[in-house]
Amino acid sequence: MSVFVDPGRVPEWYARLEMERQGMHVPSKVMMLDDVDYKMLAEDAKGGSIEKKLDGSGRWCRKCVKVKPDRTHHCRVCNRCVLKMDHHCPWINNCVGYYNYKYFYLFISYGVLILLWVSASSFVNFLRSVASPDVLDFGSDSFLIASCWLYASLFSVALGGFQTFHTCLLLKNFTTIELVEKKGQTNGNHHCYVHPYDRTVVQNVEDALGSIHALWFIPTRIGIRGNGVRYMPSEEYLAETRWRERKLAVGTTKEYGTGRGASL
């Protein structure tokens, strides 16, 4: 599923909405929207982007010539923007993004479980094969059993590490790109970086695996919230933003007061 499901493209209705918001000219081709798109447009009208460029303007992909929603990144391999892009995976020859993240996560999770089961269930046979005198004869049964066991065990360790890494990301609502980009960043004034989408652990898992807990380990997207372009910010992030805005307002007032005092 993670191979065949499209990770997510920037929808036309979103491109139109953001271009209008930013006061840009909307080309006629972007305006051809169907009823479903209009419905999404109306629902989305209340929201706004969280991520902005340093000058405060919206994010824009120069390669696709299209607006970039929050958490969207341009994949150089696929040569297009991908919603909530995590990374481009050469093993599945596809990007991992908003629409196939759950399939990808379950794929690596079940992969680890199968490899561990193979290693555990064939451990006795592996010991017997190692004790056998023909274990070093290429092509012998003992050689094949021992090499298969080693392959499964080593691969389960490597994939297990990767799966653990993705579980940590999932619990904190990070994508791999966000982790790399935001690592070590601060929100100014020596404050630690506050990730906008890191809410409670349960909400973070629900964002990735769906709001119906019974379906968390079933490869289906039923119960997954959102539309791939808008994400709920955390209370901590909103408080931090309000604090920064207040601080900025106080700074501007002070500056204005000083300027006026100097001119009198």
As annotated, the active-site residues are 89
Structure tokens at 193: 């970086």
Residue 208 and residue 96 in contact, taking contact as beta carbons nearer than 8 Å? no
Out of 15, 17, 67, 81, name the contact with Zn ion by CB under 5 A.
81
Closest separation in Å from C-beta 79 to Zn ion: 8
Closest separation in Å from C-beta 198 to Zn ion: 25
Amino acid at 11: P
**What is the Cα–Cα distance from 179 to 185, expressed in whole angstroms?**
10
Q: Determine if 75 is a binding residue for Zn ion (CB under 5 A).
A: yes
Location of structure tokens 């990374």 = 87
Location of structure tokens 């991908």 = 82
Count of residues of this chain found to bind Zn ion when the rule CB under 5 A is applied: 10
Closest separation in Å from C-beta 75 to Zn ion: 3
**What is the Cα–Cα distance from 243 to 62, expressed in whole angstroms?**
33
Q: Determine if 92 is a binding residue for Zn ion (CB under 5 A).
A: no
Closest separation in Å from C-beta 107 to Zn ion: 16
Choose the binding region for Zn ion from 16-24, 46-54, 78-86, 131-139 (rule: CB under 5 A).
78-86
Out of 20, 47, 51, 74, name the contact with Zn ion by CB under 5 A.
74
DSSP H or E segment with residue 264: none
Residues 168-187, mask of contacts with Zn ion (x by CB under 5 A): --------------------
Q: Please say which residue, 61 or 118, places its beta carbon nearer to Zn ion.
A: 61
Out of 15, 40, 67, 95, name the contact with Zn ion by CB under 5 A.
95
Location of structure tokens 């065990």 = 153
Q: Determine if 88 is a binding residue for Zn ion (CB under 5 A).
A: yes
Out of 52, 63, 242, 254, name the contact with Zn ion by CB under 5 A.
63
Contacts 24+ apart (CB under 8 A), 104-110: 104/2, 105/166, 105/170, 105/208, 105/209, 106/217, 106/219, 107/1, 107/2, 108/159, 108/162, 108/163, 108/166, 109/163, 109/217
What does the binding site for Zn ion look like in residue numbers (CB under 5 A)? 61, 63-64, 74-75, 77-78, 81, 88, 95
